[in-house]
């Protein structure tokens, strides 16, 4: 999407013109025919409402659209309302035949206009690259957004927001790709291409290196696939040289059949997005690099494919993780935690991070608890949990904190190993978090590194459009992680 800021209103307008109106007093200053038509269509200026009519403006008949911005009082509500307005415009005009849309920014502050443009761009994103039989009326036509009457600083605010857009779009690209296109090795190549010239240092560990480090847990998941595993480390150093980094760790199961504990066939195609955590970390790291974040951040991606061939891991196998702890693998479909535990150990021993946040499409149980509205938040640190919850509320990547504790931890004790990888029928997302918690190490004083686990299984993919996404990959987590880093800068 191209955005062009105009120094003055154009002499003539062929593109649809969009004006932003609040719920209170939306009729003011509008042509009578537009007001009458909008009222007849029950337009009331609510956030996300769009009405289009024709009006005579300075002797020229043109298309005039009203985009409702509602009446939210708080900054968060206002941002969400503006994003709904921008997203609604994108939904209306993406395949409308119009190649341009003219936005009238009058009345919007610089950051408010940037919110509208960000939502427009994100809502316009869609993966149509594999579709070869689209009719003309189904093809995207909108290419350029023209902006007039923009507040001072609006262009700079938008340029800053483009870093977020690029990160979210990269995450969606990764999550959307089919597993025959995106697998551990090709994931690495896409990372190399996208991060070229960004200043991010890239390190890739192959199977031999991971084996030498003792990552028996991660490698056990990968052993049934013809696709070799990889671990990717992305380092961004924008903070003080001696400052410990913030660590983001992502589960990257590029396809999950369940292994020997095979998933039901219906819906298994969705498991191409079981690498959503690694996708979110990748997009967040790209955003941080693009905006030159003043922070030290390391992202770790554990990339594997979980397949059921003759060499696949069996239920009942015992593996030794990089930490030295042993795991009885009760269910090979509880593989994400087996990948993450070695990645968590690696990042702690290599980088000694100040804080750790891991993201994973880890359990179906979290969807049973929170549906598709929130991601589950599990943490050993109240301050980090509060910071993440605040960031989620501000960006729309909503989190809900879930319980943890010894009563759940004992559910994963094994009679023949240090732990088993599933707890039982109940509390599946909690026992998964308790499993990961055993890999958060203590310092010399016996204090654990602040850590949070985000179970994003219900939020990385959607079957219905939202304010800033179409059906499919949402890009969940990128804006959340970026906001967390911004708050600490």
Tokens of 175: 């999550």
If we measure between CA atoms, which residue out of 56, 312, 443, 30 comes closest to residue 38?
30
In whole angstroms, what is the distance from residue 388 CA to residue 246 CA?
Answer: 13
In whole angstroms, what is the distance from residue 124 CA to residue 118 CA?
Answer: 10
Spot the catalytic one: 172, 291, 337, 438.
Answer: 337
CB neighbours of residue 131 within 10 Å = 10
Partnered with residue 420 across adjacent β-strands are: 328
If we measure between CA atoms, which residue out of 339, 276, 277, 330 comes closest to residue 306?
339
Rg of the chain (C-alpha set): 24
Report the greatest alpha carbon distance in the chain: 84
With a CB cutoff of 8 Å and minimum separation 6, the contacts of 306 are 221, 222, 224, 225, 253, 255, 256, 257, 258, 259, 274, 332, 333, 335
Does the annotation count 263 as an active-site position? yes
**Could you write out the three-class secondary structure of 344-413?**
HHHHHHHHCCCEEEEEECCCCHHHHHHCCCCEEEEECCHHHHHHHHHHHHHHCCCEEECCCCHHHHHHHC
Does the annotation count 337 as an active-site position? yes
In whole angstroms, what is the distance from residue 331 CA to residue 220 CA?
Answer: 12
Rounded to 5°, angle at Cα 178 from 202 and 247? 30
Spot the catalytic one: 263, 390, 401, 486.
Answer: 263
Catalytic residue set: 263, 337
């Amino acid at each position: 999407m191209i955005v062009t800021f105009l120094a003055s209103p154009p002499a003539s307008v062929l593109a649809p013109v969009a004006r932003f109106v609040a719920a209170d007093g939306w009729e003011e200053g509008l042509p009578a025919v537009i007001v009458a038509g909008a009222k007849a269509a029950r337009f009331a200026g609510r956030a996300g409402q769009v009405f289009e009519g024709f009006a005579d403006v300075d002797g020229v008949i043109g298309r005039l659209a009203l985009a409702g911005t509602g009446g939210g009082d708080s900054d968060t509500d206002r941002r969400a309302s503006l994003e709904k307005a921008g997203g609604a415009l994108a939904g209306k005009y993406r395949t409308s035949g119009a190649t341009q849309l003219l936005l009238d920014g009058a009345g919007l502050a610089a950051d408010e206009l940037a919110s509208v443009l960000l939502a427009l761009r994100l809502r316009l994103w869609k993966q149509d690259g594999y579709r070869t039989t689209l009719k003309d009326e189904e093809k995207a036509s909108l290419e350029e957004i023209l902006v007039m009457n923009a507040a001072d600083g609006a262009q700079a605010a938008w340029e800053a927001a483009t870093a977020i857009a690029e990160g979210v779009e990269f995450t969606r690209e990764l999550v959307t790709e089919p597993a025959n296109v995106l697998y551990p090795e090709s994931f690495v190549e896409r990372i190399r291409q996208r991060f070229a010239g960004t200043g991010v240092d890239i390190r890739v560990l192959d199977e031999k290196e991971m084996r030498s480090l003792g990552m028996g847990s991660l490698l056990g998941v990968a052993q049934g696939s013809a696709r070799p595993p990889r671990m990717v480390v992305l380092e961004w150093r924008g903070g003080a040289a001696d400052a410990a980094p913030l660590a983001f760790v992502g589960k990257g199961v590029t396809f999950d059949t369940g292994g020997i504990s095979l998933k039901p066939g219906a819906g298994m195609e969705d498991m191409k997005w079981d690498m959503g955590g690694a996708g979110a970390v990748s997009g967040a790291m790209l955003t941080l690099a693009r905006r030159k974040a003043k922070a030290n951040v390391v992202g770790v991606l554990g990339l594997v494919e979980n397949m059921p061939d003759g060499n696949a891991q069996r239920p009942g196998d015992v593996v030794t993780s990089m930490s030295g702890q042993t795991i009885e693998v009760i269910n090979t479909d509880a593989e994400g935690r087996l990948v993450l535990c070695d990645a968590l150990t690696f990042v702690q021993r290599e980088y000694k991070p100040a804080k750790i946040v891991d993201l994973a499409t880890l359990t179906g149980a979290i969807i049973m608890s929170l549906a598709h509205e929130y991601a589950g938040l599990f943490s050993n640190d109240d301050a980090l949990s509060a910071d993440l919850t605040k960031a989620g509320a501000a960006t729309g990547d909503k989190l809900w904190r879930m319980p943890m504790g010894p009563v759940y931890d004992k559910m994963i004790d094994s009679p023949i190993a240090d732990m088993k990888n599933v707890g039982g029928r109940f509390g599946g997302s909690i026992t998964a978090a308790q499993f990961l918690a055993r890999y958060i190490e203590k310092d010399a004083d016996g204090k654990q590194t602040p850590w949070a686990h985000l179970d994003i299984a219900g939020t990385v993919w959607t079957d219905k459009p939202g304010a800033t996404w179409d059906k499919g990959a949402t890009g969940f987590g990128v804006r959340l992680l970026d906001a967390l880093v911004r708050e600490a800068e």
